[in-house]
């Protein structure tokens, strides 16, 4: 019964473990699938973000390209002094500022990068004003005609020199065509020589100062020099009103007039030289300022571009890290599932082994129970026969005693009744101790007994039954041949009873001699 209970319990344990194993496997599959789904989504988002055109990088690259063009125009203007390059600089600056506004307003930049973009925008805001100041100064130089101014002054001095009369004040209203042509040509020749020398000195100074990077082409030199040599055409009559005070005590000579003209020309020369120097300084400052701004802006943009590339690289690294961590988690889950499966398989195998063991025990117990049942049947069958034997002996001797008229019990009959009663008591004890037989706890008695007495008791017990069938039962064992044996006398007597009883039962007419 205990084995059956253990077997049923073991079967339920196996079922629970199998159900638990399948449940864990299904849960692990769902978990792994969920993690793979999450990882693939993150990887797809990272790939999409990396594959999409980066607006920030596109704007930064466009700004860098425009700044390269700005720097090229700046260098070209410093070499050729062509105003079309200034126009390109202004247009490029406007375009860069517009892109900076787009980068500032539409791109998701961090706060520090937004401050850098604002600083670039502020630096570029100074570009147009610097160029405007330079162009205004250059226009002032172009509008100032030093040659015409010098000729007007010379004409006025010559007219004043030729018109001196006494100490009176003269009011003259004449044209420049009335001035002596010879004197004017003489002064003009001197002025042209002076201008030529001044121009050459300025060219040398300019080349040395700008390190020859602003050298002019030969054709442009000749063009400028021809422009200077060309006598200004006076197509319009100029009416000039002079108020001249002549001191009669002073006599003006021609060399005095020339010295006065030379002083005037020197002042004009210095004025023109100062204006050229201002323009050169302004141009040099503008070029240097533009170059420094462009360099500074490029540095900032390079930092921004590196930061954008770093963020893209971080995004890729994060995607790789997510994939790697997901792989590790999945590997751990798979490892745990494999270990769990191994443990469950071991437990299930152990349970199956235990179940097989219990099954074998159950089969052995069943076989043993069947054997015990058979043994019980055989025992009861034997007991029924063995019980009859002493009862028949007792009944036979009691009937014999009733038939006897004397009423005295012979000694042999009394001994047979006593022996049969003891044997019957032993049989009854065996029947009552049937549980000991089933538990295989039946013990044999070990006593000393006489073989002669045992045979004599058996003969007396079956004597009446043998006479009833006309069978002569006799024991031939002399007393001197008696043996003392050591063992279970009851079991030995039981064997003899079975043998003699069967002999009498299956013998019709014969003589059976025991001994």
Check the CA dihedral 65-67-68-73 and report its sign: positive
Name the DSSP letter for residue 52.
S
Whether the model pTM is above 0.75: no
Segment 325-351 mean pLDDT: 80
Tell me the pLDDT tens digit for each residue of 366-421.
Answer: 888 888 778 777 766 666 666 666 776 776 766 666 666 555 456 666 666 767 77
| CATH 3.30.565.10 domain range(s) in the chain | 404-514
Element (H, E) at 7: helix 2-51
The whole-number pLDDT of residue 8 equals 61
pLDDT grade, residue 50 (50/70/90)?
low
Judged by average pLDDT, the poorest of 32-46, 167-181, 264-278 is: 167-181
3-state secondary structure 141-166: HHHCCHHHHHHHHHHHHHHHHHCCCC
- Answer left, alpha or beta for residue 144, where phi above 0 means left and psi between -120 and 50 means alpha: beta
Name the DSSP letter for residue 234.
-
The whole-number pLDDT of residue 6 equals 56
Closest residue by Cα to residue 102 from 91, 114, 112: 114
Is there a contact between 164 and 246 (Cβ–Cβ < 8 Å)? Answer: yes
Rounded CA separation 140/142 (Å): 5
Angle at 446 between CA 442 and CA 449, to 5 degrees: 130
Segment 465-473 mean pLDDT: 79
Closest residue by Cα to residue 461 from 425, 417, 498, 491: 417
Name the DSSP letter for residue 506.
T
Q: Is 238 helix (H, G, I), strand (E, B) or coil?
A: coil
CB under 8 Å, gap of 24 or more: what pairs does 267-274 form? 268/146, 268/149, 268/150, 268/153, 269/194, 269/198, 271/146, 272/144, 272/146, 272/198, 273/198, 273/202
Element (H, E) at 448: strand 447-450
pLDDT grade, residue 163 (50/70/90)?
low
Q: At what angle do helices 55-80 and 254-403 cross, to 10 degrees?
A: 160
Query: Which numeric CATH code is attached to 404-514?
Result: 3.30.565.10
Segment 433-460 mean pLDDT: 73
Segment 150-161 mean pLDDT: 59
Asked whether residue 275 carries a pLDDT value surpassing 50, the answer given is yes
Rounded CA separation 59/109 (Å): 12
Tell me the pLDDT tens digit for each residue of 59-83.
Answer: 777 777 887 777 777 667 666 767 7
Is there a contact between 107 and 113 (Cβ–Cβ < 8 Å)? Answer: no
Query: Which residue carries 């009103």 as its tokens?
Result: 241
The whole-number pLDDT of residue 5 equals 56
Give me 463's structure tokens. 């004597």
């Amino acid at each position: 019964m205990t084995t059956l209970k253990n077997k049923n319990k073991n079967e339920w344990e196996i079922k629970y473990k199998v159900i638990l194993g399948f449940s864990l496997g299904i849960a692990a599959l769902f978990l792994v699938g969920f993690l793979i789904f999450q990882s693939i989504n993150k990887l797809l988002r990272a790939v999409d973000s990396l594959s999409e055109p980066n607006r920030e990088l596109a704007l930064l690259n466009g700004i860098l390209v425009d700044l390269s063009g700005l720097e090229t125009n700046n260098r070209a203007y410093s070499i050729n002094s062509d105003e079309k390059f200034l126009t390109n600089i202004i247009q490029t600056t406007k375009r860069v500022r517009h892109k900076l506004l787009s980068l500032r307003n539409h791109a998701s930049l961090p706060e520090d990068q937004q401050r850098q973009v604002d600083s670039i925008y502020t630096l570029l805001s100074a570009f147009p004003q610097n160029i405007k100041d330079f162009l205004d100064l250059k226009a002032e130089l172009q509008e100032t005609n030093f040659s015409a101014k010098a000729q007007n002054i010379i004409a006025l001095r010559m007219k004043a020199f030729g018109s001196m009369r006494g100490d009176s004040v003269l009011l003259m209203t004449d044209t420049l065509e009335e001035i002596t042509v010879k004197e004017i040509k003489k002064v003009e020749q001197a002025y042209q020589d002076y201008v030529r020398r001044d121009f050459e000195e300025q060219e040398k100074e300019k080349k040395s100062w700008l390190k020859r990077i602003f050298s002019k082409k030969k054709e442009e030199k000749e063009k400028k020099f021809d422009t200077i040599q060309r006598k200004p055409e006076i197509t319009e009559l100029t009416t000039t009103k002079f108020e001249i005070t002549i001191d009669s005590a002073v006599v003006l000579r021609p060399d005095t007039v020339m010295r006065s003209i030379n002083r005037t020309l020197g002042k004009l020369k210095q004025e023109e030289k100062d204006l050229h120097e201002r323009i050169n300084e302004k141009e040099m400052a503008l070029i240097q300022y533009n170059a420094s701004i462009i360099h500074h802006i490029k540095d900032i943009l390079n930092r921004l571009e590196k930061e954008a590339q770093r963020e893209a690289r971080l995004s890729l690294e994060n995607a790789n890290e997510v994939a790697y961590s997901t792989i590790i988690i999945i590997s751990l889950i798979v490892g745990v599932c494999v270990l769990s499966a191994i443990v469950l398989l071991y437990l299930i195998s152990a349970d199956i082994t235990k179940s097989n063991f219990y099954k074998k025990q159950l089969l052995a117990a069943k076989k043993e129970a069947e054997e015990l049942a058979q043994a019980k049947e055989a025992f009861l069958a034997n007991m029924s026969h063995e019980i009859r034997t002493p009862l028949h002996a007792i009944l036979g001797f009691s009937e014999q005693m009733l038939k006897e008229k004397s009423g005295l019990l012979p000694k042999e009959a009394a001994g047979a009744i006593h022996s049969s009663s003891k044997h019957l008591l032993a049989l009854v004890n065996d029947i009552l101790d049937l549980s000991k037989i089933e538990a295989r706890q039946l013990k044999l008695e070990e006593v000393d007994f006489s073989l002669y007495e045992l045979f004599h008791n058996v003969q007396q017990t079956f004597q009446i039954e043998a006479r009833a069938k006309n069978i002569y039962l006799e024991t031939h064992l002399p007393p001197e041949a008696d043996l003392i044996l050591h063992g279970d006398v009851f079991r030995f007597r039981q064997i003899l009873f079975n043998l003699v009883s069967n002999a009498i039962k299956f013998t019709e007419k014969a003589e059976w001699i025991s001994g």
